[in-house]
Amino acid sequence: MVGQYYVASCNGTGGVPPYTWSLATFASCGNLCYYYGQLPQGIGWSSSGSIAQFSGTPTAAGPYLYGPKLTDYTGTYVTSGDVSAGPLTMSCLPTTGPTAVGTPYLATCTASGGTAPYVWSISTGNGSLPPNLVLSPNGATATISGTPTGAGGLGYSYVVKVADNTSASVTQSYSGSLTPGTQPPTTWALVLASRTFI
């Protein structure tokens, strides 16, 4: 599990010393197993004589597959699995939406857990952002920002959604109404025509 210290030891016996330890290599199968032969991030290894040790604290979620290989006469032991980062969660601040036309608004949502990369969206079929607000994703965070426009008393509802690489998703709902506030001024151009009479 990410953030949890791990240690494992391998002990070689038999054969004819001295022993040589290494990490086994695996045949590639394209992007689906790019991780073959790689230790989980945050895990290191060392060896001394007949013993090899793997230890550390995993720092990133994702699959791994590695095999310590002991050579005198050749033997390979392979261990595989998934480093789990816990369930996907999302935190948004503030948890309330914009309140007034013409007043700048900013909310920041942060995703954690699950399996990166994250995909942010405004959930379809559950309303939409108030006029002039935009969602700006950036990795594990996303902002909703802008200066609302439109008529006073405009009601709104929208749902911020984040999904991870396994299609797990969580949401944060917003709803409210905009008071009149201050509308940006509108500029009118008056064109005067001139005419000379003879």
Print pLDDT tens along the chain (198 aa): 778 889 988 888 887 888 888 887 766 555 545 656 778 889 999 999 889 899 999 888 777 777 788 888 666 665 556 666 778 899 999 999 999 999 999 999 999 888 788 999 999 888 899 999 999 999 999 999 999 997 656 789 999 999 998 889 999 999 999 988 765 544 444 343 344 444
Q: Do domains 6-83 and 89-178 have the same CATH topology?
A: yes
List the chain domain ranges: 6-83, 89-178
For residues 56, 58, 59, 64, the Cα torsion angle rounded to the nearest 10 degrees is 130
Phi and psi dihedrals of 153, rounded to 5? 75, 10
The answer to whether 144 and 134 have CB atoms below 8 angstroms apart is yes
Ranges assigned E (strand) in 16-100: 20-23, 43-48, 51-56, 62-66, 68-71, 74-76, 79-83, 89-93
- What pTM does this model have? 0.60
Question: In the CATH scheme, what is the code of domain 6-83?
Answer: 2.60.40
The topology (CATH level 3) of 89-178 is Immunoglobulin-like (2.60.40)
Q: What is the pLDDT of residue 188?
A: 42
First to last CA, the chain: 94
Neighbours of 114 (CB within 10 A): 25
For residue 38, the 8-state DSSP code is B
